[in-house]
Each structure stands twice: as C-alpha cells, then as structure tokens.
C-alpha cells in the first residue's frame, strides 16, 4: 500500500471556487446564493403592485379633491419614473427592469407627495432624482441606502421651497373647508390657529396638502391591507407612530399653548403616508427586530422635533433620511449568540 499523501489543492479548501478540469476549463462545483433559500411564491413585482393597490384610496381621494391637475401629476410622475429607469438601463447596457413595477411605484409615491399644482418640470426633476440619484447610482432596486421618493422630496423642498407652500399653491381651490395647511398654521400662528381643524376632519381628509397625504382614513386602510398581507413590517410602522405620538405628547404637556397635541401630528402632513408607505422601505430600513423598533421610534421623534423647533414645517423627509443613514449601524444590534467558538 502506498503511503504517498494526496496533495491538498486550493479547490479542496475553497469548494465554491471554479475547479480546473483537464481540457475543459473551469467547472462550477458549488453555487451559493444568499438567503432566503425558500421561495414562498411572492415576487418583487407582486409586492409593488399590492402597494400601489393599497395607495389607491388616498390617491383617488386626492384626485376627487383636486381634479384633473392631480391626475396629471400622478400620471406624469409614474411615466417619467419609468422613462428615467428605461433610459438608465439603455445607457448602462442593463436588462430592462421597468417590468418589476419598482419605477412605477416610486413615481406614484413621489406624485402623492407633491401638490396638485406642481409644475411639470418639478415632476420630471423629482423623478430623475428619485430613480437615478436615489436608486440606480447605487446599483438599482435593493441597493439604495436612502428612500428614493423621500430623497427626491427633500432635495425639491430645499431647492424650491415655494412650490411646497400649500397655502399658496392651492389658494384657488375652495373645497368647503379651511383651505390652509395645518402644519403651516401651527408653525407660524400657534396652537390657536389650528382650532378650526377637528380630529375627525383631519382623518377624513378635510385639510390641504399633497395629493396623497391628506386622506388619513384611506392611508390607514391601505396600511392595514399591507400589514395583513405581510408587505409591511409592523415593528417599524408602530414604533414610528409611537415615536411621533409620545414626542408630541411630551411637548404638549410641557406647553399646551405652544405645542399641538399628538393626534394633530399623527393626522397632518406626511405622517401617515410615511408610516405605511415610506419609512419601512426594505433597502433603507433595518432587518432585525430591535433595530426596527429603534429606527421607527427615533424617526418619529425627530419628525416632531423638526416640526416644533426646527426650520421646516414638516420634518418627515429629513427625519427618515437621517435614520436611513444610521440604518447600517442600527442593524448591527443583534441578539447575543448562544455558546462560543472553542
């Protein structure tokens, strides 16, 4: 019997590397893919379509209020988003990806965040920022560190603040209720100026604002649909709403003559559309339980801080983007492993 040992080659140590086969070149012996390994039958396109369905009550309400201009903004936003993604695919020599519904969803969400009177160039610029700067530059869907619609919104608000002055933008509308932006009234005129807005009126969309952000009941219905179908993580949604509620309550208890109550903050501005459609976006939010709770709660807290003592009327885009940046660090908080390596 020969005592000669078989030499150890690199491929024996690293079986996932291609093996050299005589006369045939590299041969893949083991192909490894990242988790999850079990496919439950769902798909990216299916999820995007369900999110768009969930957004319909708020979108249709906004269209009912603002008419044809709202239809134009929503339709043009979705069309521009798909065109920008298609153009990027062609320039980069990539397969066409608009079929997965991601670009259409991004365009829909951005359109919901805009006033019905937004000029066409704002829509075109905003969708370019969302698709190219917010998503494609980082590698496409699943790789974006920041929420694309919110990134576009924040850049537009900073650059063209007047377009998002809802009191001025919607001054030609008379919808049978107080046509002033509740958060602007609170910011510039104090708590007495918002007495005309009841909780029921705010819930039923009797307030001015972006096309898809005013109908609180519709957003709650859409959000409940997503939660029940498993397309939205309840941990982030509930912790975000709790962060807004508790922070606003503490401010209100400290000085009720200066700071509005928690239900006002929950039902105005971008709060509900952010809670159910934006803050839990997969790529820009944590995947672990404790980080999700921290992420949502801190984003909610920062929202109220910006509204009450910051420079901007609504702190939603800036608060969430800030914690999008903190997301990789937060997701390092994990349960301690059981046992140890010997």
Average pLDDT over residues 253-260: 94
Average pLDDT over residues 163-184: 90
Rounded CA-CA distance 266/263 in Å is 5
pLDDT, residue 171, reads 86
- Lowest mean pLDDT, pick from 1-5, 123-127, 162-166, 196-200: 1-5
Rounded CA-CA distance 310/319 in Å is 11
Rounded CA-CA distance 111/66 in Å is 13
Rounded CA-CA distance 62/71 in Å is 9
pLDDT, residue 23, reads 52
Domains of the chain and any CATH numbers? 44-330 (1.10.3430)
Given CA atoms 221, 225, 231, 237 in this order, what sign does their dihedral have? positive
Rounded CA-CA distance 9/22 in Å is 15
For 303, list phi and psi in degrees, rounded to 5.
Answer: -60, -50
Q: Is pLDDT at 79 greater than 70 in this prediction?
A: yes
The answer to whether 141 and 135 are in contact (CB under 8 A) is yes
User: pLDDT-derived band of residue 12, with 50, 70 and 90 as boundaries?
Assistant: very low
Q: Is pLDDT at 72 greater than 50 in this prediction?
A: yes
- Terminal-residue alpha carbon distance, the chain: 37
User: pLDDT-derived band of residue 109, with 50, 70 and 90 as boundaries?
Assistant: very high
- Lowest mean pLDDT, pick from 12-26, 76-90, 141-155: 12-26
Residue 102: alpha-carbon gap to chain centroid? 12
pLDDT, residue 138, reads 92
Question: Which tens digit of pLDDT belongs to each residue from 111-162?
Answer: 999 999 999 999 999 999 999 999 999 988 888 999 999 999 999 999 999 9
pTM: 0.85
Rounded CA-CA distance 196/182 in Å is 9
Question: Which tens digit of pLDDT belongs to each residue from 265-300?
Answer: 999 999 999 999 999 998 999 988 999 999 999 999
pLDDT, residue 43, reads 79
What's the mean pLDDT when you consider all of the chain? 88
High-pLDDT (> 70) share of the chain, %:
85
User: pLDDT-derived band of residue 84, with 50, 70 and 90 as boundaries?
Assistant: very high
> Which among 105, 134, 150, 138 has a CA at the least distance from the CA of 275?
150
Q: Is pLDDT at 18 greater than 70 in this prediction?
A: no
């Amino acid at each position: 019997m020969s005592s000669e040992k078989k030499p150890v080659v690199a491929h024996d140590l690293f079986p996932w590397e291609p093996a050299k086969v005589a006369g045939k070149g590299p041969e893949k012996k083991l192909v490894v893919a990242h988790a999850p390994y079990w496919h439950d039958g769902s798909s990216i396109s299916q999820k995007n379509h369900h999110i768009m369905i969930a957004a319909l009550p708020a979108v249709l309400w906004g269209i009912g209020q603002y008419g044809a201009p709202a239809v134009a903004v929503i339709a043009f936003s979705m069309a521009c988003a798909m065109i920008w993604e298609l153009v990027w695919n062609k320039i980069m020599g990539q397969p066409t990806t608009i079929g997965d519904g991601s670009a259409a969803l991004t365009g829909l969400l951005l359109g919901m965040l805009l006033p019905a009177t937004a000029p066409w160039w704002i829509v075109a610029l905003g969708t370019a920022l969302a698709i190219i700067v917010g998503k494609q530059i980082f590698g496409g869907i699943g790789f974006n560190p920041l929420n694309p619609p919110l990134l576009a919104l924040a850049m537009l608000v900073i650059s063209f603040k007047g377009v998002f002055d809802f009191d001025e933008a919607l001054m030609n509308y008379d919808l049978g209720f107080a046509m002033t932006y509740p958060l602007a009234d609170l910011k510039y005129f104090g708590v007495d100026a918002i007495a005309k807005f009841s909780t029921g009126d705010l819930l039923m969309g009797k307030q001015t604002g972006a096309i898809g952000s005013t109908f609180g009941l519709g957003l709650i219905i859409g959000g409940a649909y997503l939660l029940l179908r498993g397309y939205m993580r309840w941990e982030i949604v509930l912790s975000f709403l709790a962060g807004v509620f508790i922070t606003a309550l503490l401010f209100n208890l400290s000085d009720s003559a200066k700071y509005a109550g928690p239900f006002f903050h929950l039902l105005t501005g971008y709060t509900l559309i952010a809670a159910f459609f934006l803050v839990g976006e997969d790529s820009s939010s944590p995947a672990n339980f404790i980080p999700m709770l921290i992420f949502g709660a801190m984003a909610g807290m920062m929202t109220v801080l910006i509204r009450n003592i910051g420079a901007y009327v609504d702190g939603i885009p800036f608060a969430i983007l800030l914690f999008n940046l903190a997301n990789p660090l937060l997701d390092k908080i994990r349960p301690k492993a059981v046992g140890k390596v010997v």
